[in-house]
Chain A
Amino acid sequence: MSAILWFCGVATAVAAPTADGTLMIGKPSEPDTLDPHVAQSNNSLTITCKTYETLVKFAVVNGHATADVVPGLAQSWAVDPSGEVWDFTLAPGHRFSDGRPVDAAAVKFSFDRLMRIAKGPNEDFPAIGAVEALDQRTVRFRLTYPFAPFLQSLANCGGDVVDPAVMAFAVNDDFAQGYLATHSLGSGPYQIVHVEKGAEIVLEPNPYFPGPPPRIRRVVIKIIAEASVRRLELEKGDLDLIEEVSPDQIDVLRKKPDIVVIDEPCFREDLLFINSQRPPFDNVLVRQALSFAIDYQGIVDFVLLGKAKQMRGFIPEGFAGYDEAAPQFHYDPKKAQALLAQAGLRHLTIGFLYAKADPTWQTVGLIVQQNLADIGVKLELHEYSYTTMRDMIDRGDFDIAIGNYAPDFNDPSQYLNYWVDSRLFGLAGNRAFYKNPEVDAMIRRALSEKDPAARQTLYQRAQRIAVEAAPYILLSQKHYEAAMRSNVHGFVFNPLLLQVFNFEDMWKSPSPN
């Protein structure tokens, strides 16, 4: 009898830490690559943000992540008066998962690699001219112009530092892209230990990461495409945390005692692009009429089930440069009709370009169709595959198209310098093909303006002009939604890092079941 008890005791003692130290995550799709210098989507960030580190990182204040930056791999930095030379001093003690120290040469190697590969994440660093390792712990960035948001941009995951030793795995000048697609060699708190393609990715702590070892000893990210199955496994306790929970499921899960939902306002926005170069949309009155015709609150209430709010200006609330006095269009069909009459237009028929990439886009299209019918405009819904839709937007082959947007780092340039710069027509940023030389001049000057107040004024003025001109119909600032078991603790939401979880600070208490 005592032997059995002893055995049970041992079994429990051995089993408990394993069970509580493993975090099971359900992800809807497999990240294309886990190479931080290639990966584009937040889906990859779940892994790369935990396996690599950046020179600076987003601050967490009172359990809430903010968009301000604090030291990361760099303990301090200095910029010369021209704003073009930045010196960073690296903090001691950071080591890659192979034990090698993170030094200035590694930082130089990483940025050189990012620029040489040039597959997208490099776009957030348009001004980097050269990177030099001055000594083992000092690295210098020479910019081609005083790019004001430089420091902010370094917190973005494209600035991840990779161990130069990875070049041992390079094949045919690929800078080890093939290897890093499924492996990691960074200094973050975790490292990839196993990738089962199409099925799961397993992380375990980087033994050389400074500080106390994380309590989550193993993170298993399972790829489960079907939303209802993810939910089933969460409710059953086989998963601890699931991503991409639809607004209707969030409300059901919220009522379950052993589930906690994450339902936070974030910077992701839904908007419509009006092709401002194509008649009759080159007439500002027509664009404004369309903007007054939309039932914004109806879309928020019926499509997003209240988990969003109407945008005010391009820049979302809580983001650097948000302007609470920015102009905002409201639902006013009469005014819309009057504006159309003023523009001399009758019996207008326009196309609405969308794809099934976002399940809500079609419903939004139907509401917009009804709204426009009320002012005598016929809207035809044109559904294409997402790739075709993107191509059509890039070529300006549409009347109105729907899309969404999320920024990479906390700076107004992430909105203004993309959305309204006439040099970036198409997918590159200005999807409404809006052109105003005055606005162009202001936003370009703001990009290298060193005085924060002057910079803010420039952006504010540019934004007000552009919003009034209505090249975009600004629908809603959305929520980020996920759900986890109630015995998972310590998660800190960061609106800039969607789909990123701070595994290193999280822990699990014994399951209530």
Chain B
Amino acid sequence: MSLLQILCRRLLLAIMVVFGVVVVTFIVSHLIPGDPARLMAGEHASAQTVQHMQHVLGLDRPLPEQFAIYVGRLVRGDLGLSIRTQRPVSEDIRHFFPATIELSLAALLFALAFGLFLGVVAAVYKDTWIDQLARVISIVGISMPAFWLGLLLLELFYNWLGLLPGTGRLQEGLAAPPAVTGMFTVDALLAGEWGTLRSALEHLALPTFTLGFVILGIIMRQIRSAMIEVLQEDYIRTARAGGLSPTRIILGHALRNALIPSVTMLGLTFGDLLYGAVLTETIFAWPGMGNYVVESISSLDFPSIMGFAVVASLAYVLINLAVDLSYLVLDPQIREIG
């Protein structure tokens, strides 16, 4: 099967997955007892006001009709109007998503860099104190709730040492850099605004560490066990016997093979990352999707909930597609088998 065929098949599957998510989210969110019109109309609203709002929001139509209207709009790229904020959902998502992506990417990079390093070192020095230390870090990372870690970090670095800022994305009074990607660090870099870049990085540090720490533990564990296995393989022994330098063996031969199962993990970790981002964003008042989604769910803001589900599932599917494609680079066998 050619690369193009694989790509087409996966893309088709991706569309089906996203459509499935749309159907399920629509049904589930509408099955929850509760009426957003009732909720929006407030404390004293009379039956007439609620009816009027139901009509305005289109909630008085039959469910299948509401679904057909929604899908019709979705195909044209229109995610509808948020019941809660009165703003187009696509606009809200365009505003909030880059902040979440920036945080998630930074956390992923951080976790990858340290997770890989610790995993490799722990495997090479298996059962020594270095390995024990790395495993303790991993267990702490996996078991410590992001919520608790975030508060501890704030207490230490913000309140006690005064080294890093507390909440938000930029220092008060500093204007956001010209929007290109919506990620302040990248945009500041592109615009050459070094002061803004520095402030953005400082604000990103603690949330990144909080969110990345959990993933770091998972990656480290995965790499460690895969590396231990690979290091016992015959071809590694052969390479050693052949006189290759240990660095070359570890990085060039062992790690490359150990990476394949880890890459799969990485794709699946993206879900954890999004979930962890919600908690992290709450603690650090990081204006991303997290708070927006929580507020949308608690006010049964159907268009916003649906919009998030669509975008998040799309991102999830695309990332896993990228993961699958990366196998082709890492493992030529898969390319041949298809």
B40 engages A119 (CB within 8 Å): yes
Q: Cβ of A305 < 8 Å from any Cβ of B?
A: no
> Closest CB-CB distance, A173 to chain B, in whole Å?
10
Chain B residue nearest to A182 (CB atoms) is B87
Given contacts A198-B287, A427-B38, contact A119 B295 (CB under 8 A): no
* Option from B34, B49, B291 in Cβ contact (under 8 Å) with A225: B291
A199 engages B287 (CB within 8 Å): yes
| Whole-angstrom CA separation of A238 from B171 in the bound complex | 11
> Closest CB-CB distance, A156 to chain B, in whole Å?
11
- Cβ proximity bits B13-41 to A, threshold 8 Å, 1 near / 0 not: 00000000000000000001111101111
CB pairs A–B below 8 angstroms (25 shown): A29-B291, A30-B295, A40-B40, A41-B42, A119-B41, A119-B53, A120-B42, A120-B43, A121-B42, A178-B87, A182-B87, A198-B287, A198-B292, A199-B168, A222-B167, A225-B285, A226-B285, A229-B154, A232-B154, A232-B155, A387-B32, A388-B32, A394-B38, A408-B44, A429-B44
Q: Cβ of A390 < 8 Å from any Cβ of B?
A: yes
B166 engages A390 (CB within 8 Å): no
Interface of chain B residues 78 through 102 with chain A (CB within 8 A): 84-87, 92, 95-96
B282 engages A226 (CB within 8 Å): yes
Q: Which residues of A contact B39 (CB under 8 A)?
A: 387, 390
Interface of chain A residues 55 through 84 with chain B (CB within 8 A): none
Q: Which residues of B contact A174 (CB under 8 A)?
A: 86
Q: Which residues of B contact A229 (CB under 8 A)?
A: 151, 154, 166-167, 283-285
> Closest CB-CB distance, A498 to chain B, in whole Å?
13
Considering only CB atoms and an 8 Å cut-off, how many residues of chain B contact the other chain? 49
Q: Which residues of B contact A182 (CB under 8 A)?
A: 87
Q: Which residues of B contact A424 (CB under 8 A)?
A: 46
A385 engages B32 (CB within 8 Å): yes
Q: Which residues of A contact B298 (CB under 8 A)?
A: 385-387
Considering only CB atoms and an 8 Å cut-off, how many residues of chain A contact the other chain? 54
A120 engages B49 (CB within 8 Å): yes
B299 engages A181 (CB within 8 Å): no
Q: Cβ of B67 < 8 Å from any Cβ of A?
A: no
Q: Cβ of A177 < 8 Å from any Cβ of B?
A: yes
Q: Cβ of B159 < 8 Å from any Cβ of A?
A: yes
Among the listed stretches A31-39, A97-105, A142-150, A242-250, which one makes contact with chain B, having 4 or more residues with CB under 8 Å of it?
A: A31-39
| Whole-angstrom CA separation of A163 from B133 in the bound complex | 66
Interface of chain A residues 188 through 217 with chain B (CB within 8 A): 196-200
- Cβ proximity bits B208-245 to A, threshold 8 Å, 1 near / 0 not: 00000000000000000000000000000000000000
Q: Cβ of B45 < 8 Å from any Cβ of A?
A: yes
Q: Which residues of A contact B155 (CB under 8 A)?
A: 232
Q: Which residues of A contact B35 (CB under 8 A)?
A: 391, 394
> Closest CB-CB distance, B151 to chain A, in whole Å?
6
Given contacts A120-B44, A225-B282, contact A232 B159 (CB under 8 A): yes
List the interface of chain A (C-beta within 8 A of B).
24, 29-30, 32-33, 35, 38, 40-41, 118-124, 174, 177-178, 181-182, 196-200, 220, 222-226, 228-229, 232-233, 235-236, 238, 385-388, 390-392, 394, 405, 408, 418, 424, 427-429
Q: A33-B85, A232-B158, A428-B47 are in contact. List 14 more A-B contacts (CB 8 A).
A: A32-B85, A119-B40, A119-B41, A120-B44, A120-B49, A123-B45, A197-B96, A220-B172, A222-B167, A222-B285, A236-B166, A387-B298, A390-B39, A427-B45
A199 engages B169 (CB within 8 Å): yes
* Total of A-B residue pairs, C-beta within 8 Å: 140
Q: Cβ of B116 < 8 Å from any Cβ of A?
A: no
A226 engages B158 (CB within 8 Å): no
B166 engages A118 (CB within 8 Å): no
Q: Cβ of B126 < 8 Å from any Cβ of A?
A: no
A233 engages B166 (CB within 8 Å): yes
B44 engages A236 (CB within 8 Å): no
**Residue of B35, B151, B168, B284 with most partner-chain A CB within 10 A:** B168
B46 engages A387 (CB within 8 Å): no
Q: Which residues of B contact A394 (CB under 8 A)?
A: 35, 38
| Whole-angstrom CA separation of A427 from B46 in the bound complex | 9
6 nearest CB pairs, A to B:
A387-B34, A40-B42, A198-B287, A120-B42, A199-B287, A224-B285
A391 engages B38 (CB within 8 Å): yes
B166 engages A388 (CB within 8 Å): no
> Closest CB-CB distance, B43 to chain A, in whole Å?
7
A123 engages B172 (CB within 8 Å): no
Q: Cβ of B300 < 8 Å from any Cβ of A?
A: yes
Q: Cβ of B115 < 8 Å from any Cβ of A?
A: no
| Whole-angstrom CA separation of A405 from B41 in the bound complex | 15
Q: Which residues of A contact B73 (CB under 8 A)?
A: none
Q: Which residues of B contact A387 (CB under 8 A)?
A: 32-34, 36, 39, 298-300
> Closest CB-CB distance, B184 to chain A, in whole Å?
11
> Closest CB-CB distance, A170 to chain B, in whole Å?
12
Q: Which residues of A contact B41 (CB under 8 A)?
A: 40, 119-120
Interface of chain B residues 261 through 304 with chain A (CB within 8 A): 282-285, 287-288, 291-292, 295, 298-300
| Whole-angstrom CA separation of A123 from B52 in the bound complex | 13
B34 engages A385 (CB within 8 Å): yes
* Option from A200, A232, A386, A429 in Cβ contact (under 8 Å) with B166: A232
| Whole-angstrom CA separation of A197 from B176 in the bound complex | 13
Q: Which residues of A contact B292 (CB under 8 A)?
A: 198
| Whole-angstrom CA separation of A220 from B168 in the bound complex | 13
**Residue of B36, B42, B172, B288 with most partner-chain A CB within 10 A:** B42
* Option from A197, A233, A388 in Cβ contact (under 8 Å) with B167: A233
Chain B residue nearest to A38 (CB atoms) is B86
Interface of chain B residues 150 through 183 with chain A (CB within 8 A): 151, 154-155, 158-159, 166-169, 172, 176
